[in-house]
Amino acid sequence: MALKLIVTGGAGYVGSVCTARLLEAGHEVVVVDDLSTGHADAVPDGARFVEGDAAEATASLLGEGFDGVLHFAAKSLVGESMTDPAKYWHGNVITSIRLLDAMRDHGTPRLVFSSTAATYGEPESSPIKETSPTRPTNTYGASKLAIDHAITSYARAHGLAAVSLRYFNVAGAYGSYGERHTTETHLIPLVLQVASGNREDVKIFGDDYPTDDGTAVRDYIHVVDLADAHLLALQHAVAGEHRVYNLGNGTGFSVQQVIETCREVTGHPIPAAVAPRRAGDPAVLVASSDRAREELGWKPERADLTGIVADAWRFAQERRNA
Ligand code: UDP
């Protein structure tokens, strides 16, 4: 069934890929983005684009009648969330509550929300399940968890069909849509900047973790697999319920392994230097996505790290030559 949808943050990395996949599946999409971190030319052709605040602009559109909202727009820099928490409590929490209010007022039936592995904090056990304790270690994760709690109560009280997807480490690209952060903090794009000649070396944040090679382990998931989970979430959302799903491949790779994979893919030596641990970084974050597999019928199709890095590398080279 073709749905009429609003995608907040559709000019950003995950939002643009998801918009492209929604359009391909035959849905009608309006992208709302304030372009604070997104790019107007990242909005896929075929989507209508409204520049504006995720809550305000969405509220003024909802009267047109929509089947759902996919809410990607957010502040997402962990370090910044610690030095400027107000930006996260206002930009993420207050904005999302205002969005929920507008959806309640207009009777908009479905919401898919971009939550995060950062809601769990330092895990007690691995892989991380949705039933694991949520004790975020940074304001970014706390802000996303607060929104998850708000969604649960709005779903129960107002009949909203809501799904939160907790992303682990998203990477890769899809066609002309990929990671284009002005302030880049993520490992794979930073390593690829070294291969592109835009950065001298990559810093390994800590080599004294209790892992096989001493560097931190993360679960890298292809952005297309992630985006496709949103389409399934829309189909499987149930009125009055808020369901939460972890999205990862269930396999961990260390920082060293990621750098080595980038060397193989790019053919560049990629010098790496060990630096102190980054505050608040857990040693290992790996998802159990059993619930998404069982309830959504989701299955990652692009789980291979070499393929993920190869797609990110192709995108980085195309942008450089554009
Ligand atoms: N990392 C690193 N050097 C960098 C950037 C990241 O060693 O320049 C490490 C980081 O400490 C973490 C992993 O790479 O263990 C993934 O970090 P990223 O910021 O990509 O994602 P996060 O896991 O923080 O969401």
- Nearest atom (ligand 1) to Cα of 206: 7
Tell which residue, 66, 15, 8, has the closest CA to residue 33. 8
- If you take atom 15 of ligand 1, which residue's CA is the nearest one? 216
What pLDDT, on a 0 to 100 scale, did the predictor assign at position 73?
98
Which helix or strand (DSSP H or E) is residue 51 part of? Answer: strand 48-51
Q: Which residues contact 267 (CB under 8 A, 6 or more apart)?
A: none
Q: What is the pTM of this model?
A: 0.97
CA distances, 50 to each of 71, 226, 247, 305 (Å): 14, 24, 29, 35
Residue pLDDT tens, the chain, 322 long: 899 999 999 999 999 999 999 999 999 999 999 999 999 999 999 999 999 999 999 999 999 999 999 999 999 999 999 999 999 999 999 999 999 999 999 999 999 999 999 999 999 999 999 999 999 999 999 999 999 999 999 999 999 999 999 999 999 999 999 998 888 899 999 999 999 999 999 999 999 999 999 999 999 999 999 999 999 999 999 999 999 999 999 999 999 999 999 999 999 999 999 999 998 888 999 999 999 999 999 999 999 999 999 999 999 999 877 6
258 close to ligand 1 (CB < 6 Angstrom)? no
Which residue is associated with the tokens 């607060």?
146
Candidate from 187, 193, 203, 258 with most ligand 1 atoms within 8 A of CB, to mutate: 187
Phi, psi for residue 187 in degrees, rounded to 5 = -60, -55
The CA distance from 116 to 180, in Å, is 19
186 close to ligand 1 (CB < 6 Angstrom)? yes
